[in-house]
Each structure stands twice: as C-alpha cells, then as structure tokens.
Amino acid sequence: VLIQGSYREGGLFELAWVKSERGGRIDFWNFDPNILYRQTFWTLVIGGFINYSFTYGINQAQIQRALSAKTLRDAQLAYWLNIPGCIAFILLPGLVGILLYARYQFCDPIVSGRIAKRDQLVPLYVMDVLSEDLPGFPGLFVAMLFSGSLSTISSTLNGLGAVITRDFVQPLYFDRFR
C-alpha cells in the first residue's frame, strides 16, 4: 500500500508530505503544553511513554514471552531486537495516513457517503488506487488483514488458556494431592 500509493500520489516525500504540511497535518514542533490539542510534542511523548510502559511492562502476552526466554540476557536481547519492528509499526501507518490525506484532502469520503466510518478509509484507498494497477491485490489485502487478526487472537487465547490453567486449575486439582 505504501509503495504503490507513493507512486500513485506523486511520491511520498515530494508531493504527499508537502500537501500534508500545507494542510496542517504535520507539525512536529508544537510544544504547546495544552492537553486539549490532539497531537503536540508533549502529548505524544508522555502518551507514548505510558502506552509502551503498559505494552512492555504489564501486558500478559509480553510478560509470557519474556518469561519463556532461557535467561534474563535472552529476554533483554529480545526486547532490544523488537525496537526496530516497533518503530516500523508506528511509522508505516503514519506514512500511509499521509498518503490518504494527499488523496482525499479535497473530497472527504465520509461526507460524500462513500464510507460510513473512518476505519473504512484504508480499504477504500486500496480499492480506489491499488485495484487499478494490481488486480487481485484488494483480495490479498483483506486476506492479510484476516490473517493478522486471527494470529493475534490465537496468541491471546493461547496465553489466556495457559494463565487460567496455571493459576486456577492447577491449584484446585493438582496441588491438593501433594
């Protein structure tokens, strides 16, 4: 989506980025401490710190992954190796958002009635832009979305099953026979 969209919008950093800056969508240097603004430097730094403290500090799935490492050093290495993927996980959707803004800045698909909610914007973009040059790509895109969501759900259910078995079933049935 990012590569083909950049090609179709005239380049990510040439045209799409400039359109987003002119439209007021990119403002890295807003140091206003007012918490009512949607995105300032402070809300992103403080909010990002709180979000990732939760994600890597007390999230059951992350703790289970860390505890499955053989040594503390291996767990720490796994967390450090996760940083580039985490940065990409933040940057890539933001860059796709810049392409979406460049495409739909003068014709809001919600106002025009093409979509009902904002979370339908990326699939609309895939249908509008990528289906023309890459037939079959929208189907592949939907398959990737389902694959990713099912993978996440199965991992979460697996972790939940392990926690329930270890914390509730084992003390009730197995510990009393010792």
Long-range contacts: 35-39, Cβ < 8 Å, 24+? none
- The Cα 129–Cα 2 span in angstroms is 11
Question: What pLDDT does residue 164 have?
Answer: 87
Q: Is the pLDDT of residue 11 over 70?
A: yes
CB 75, CB 62: distance < 8 Å = no
- Model confidence over 81-108: pLDDT tens digits? 988 998 898 899 989 999 999 889 888 9
DSSP letter assigned to residue 136:
T
H helices within the chain, ranges in order? Answer: 2-8, 17-22, 41-57, 60-67, 72-104, 121-125, 131-133, 137-164
* CA 176 from centroid of its chain's CA atoms: 45
The pLDDT > 70 percentage for the chain reads: 98
* pLDDT one-digit tens code per residue, 153-177: 887 888 788 888 888 888 887 766 5
Model confidence at 178, pLDDT cuts 50, 70, 90, reads low
Q: Which pLDDT score, from 0 to 100, does residue 175 have?
A: 66
pLDDT digit string (tens) for 105-115?
Answer: 888 999 999 99
Separation CA 71–CA 88 (nearest Å): 27
The dihedral through the CA atoms of 144, 146, 147, 149 has a sign that is positive
